[in-house]
Amino acid sequence: MGEPIVRYENVHKSFGAVEVLKGINLDLKQAEKVAVIGPSGSGKTTIIRMLMTLEEPTSGEIIVDGKNLWHMEKNGQLVPANEKHLRQVRGDIGMVFQHFNLFPHMTILENCMTAPIHVQKEDKKSAKERSIEMLEKVGLGDKLGNYPSQLSGGQKQRVAMARALVMRPKIMLFDEVTSALDPELVEEVLEVIRDIAHEGRMAMVLVTHEMEFARDIADRVLFLDGGVIAEQGSPEEVFGNSENKRLESFLRRFR
Ligand code: ADP
């Protein structure tokens, strides 16, 4: 699989006096699928928000494509290391959130087209073609002119995925994308992620409470607890681990 495309080295993150992450070390390899599990409030979202540069670490290094995202000033403050690289990183990463964050006043086709046109400066025709292709891929080819308010939660989440895919990311981040959905809509969204995962090209980091799903598609599972990666390994190793009592008690809730 070659060099990691993302590396966290001893990353700490505090909010005020509370240290949420206490030294995260993590490599993400090309095309690797990593599931992050752990109790609520353990810092799972914070880990992926830092990769999207929505949050800066308090200390440590996050290296993407061999380049550091943050640089320590003499006063100890971390500042963006290189604006150009940061822009590129943001362009290489697609993120899908728990809440879909679609633009309500735009049709779903327009929702998908807007970033390629305005951020990547792509011409309208090819942005439109690719947006249609991605909406078809997530099973919404017949809803192009609909507004988000006319769709179910599962459909909205599939639009959010198409919108991220249109940007041709190298890495996709999924943050509890099914948590806000009615139970009967969960499977249709997981199915789309499975399809994307099986295509294989993109690296993926999935924060999820869907343990069966994580077992199914992840190459590696990380259990975040107490501010550190308390366990990691293949799905078989992590889900079959009965030595770590905290992991076992966490998993018991999903059985
Ligand atoms: P998880 O995704 O595992 O539920 P989060 O990464 O969302 O955990 O949050 C970890 C901890 O950090 C929580 O206690 C949360 O309240 C706190 N936290 C997250 N973001 C902020 C913020 N912007 N300001 C203050 N506290 C925050």
pLDDT digits (tens, 9 = 90+) for 13-45: 999 999 999 999 999 999 999 999 999 999 999
Question: Of 38, 25, 153, 27, nearest to 101 (Cα)?
Answer: 153
**Residue 118 placed within a domain:** yes
CA 224 to ligand 1 center in whole angstroms:
13
Statement: residue 179 has pLDDT above 80? yes
Q: Is 94 in the pocket of ligand 1 (CB under 6 A)?
A: no
Statement: residue 2 has pLDDT above 80? no
Domain span at residue 133 reads: 96-168
The pLDDT of residue 67 is: 84
Q: Is 15 in the pocket of ligand 1 (CB under 6 A)?
A: yes
**Residue 30 placed within a domain:** no
The pLDDT of residue 201 is: 86
Task: Tell me the pLDDT of the chain averaged across its residues.
Answer: 92
**For strand 4-15 and strand 171-175, is the pairing parallel, antiparallel, or unpaired?**
unpaired
**Residue 125 placed within a domain:** yes
Q: In the structure, what pLDDT confidence band is assigned to residue 89 with cuts at 50, 70 and 90? A: confident
**Residue 154 placed within a domain:** yes
Pocket test for ligand 1, best of 40, 45, 206 (most atoms within 8 A of CB): 45
**Residue 192 placed within a domain:** no
Statement: residue 246 has pLDDT above 70? yes
The pLDDT of residue 181 is: 87
Region at 23 (left for phi over 0; alpha for psi -120 to 50; beta for the rest): left
Q: Is 54 in the pocket of ligand 1 (CB under 6 A)?
A: no
Give nearest CA residue, ligand 1 atom 22: 15
Q: Is 104 in the pocket of ligand 1 (CB under 6 A)?
A: no
**Residue 173 amino acid letter:** L
**Residue 127 placed within a domain:** yes
Rounded to two decimals, the pTM is: 0.92
**What is the tally of structural domains in the chain?**
1
More confidently predicted of 79 and 1: 79
Q: Is 41 in the pocket of ligand 1 (CB under 6 A)?
A: yes
**Residue 160 placed within a domain:** yes
Tell me the mean pLDDT in the region 142-171.
94
The pLDDT of residue 213 is: 92
**Residue 138 placed within a domain:** yes
Statement: residue 1 has pLDDT above 60? no
Tell me the mean pLDDT in the region 171-200.
90
Residue 200 near residue 124 (C-beta atoms within 8 A): no
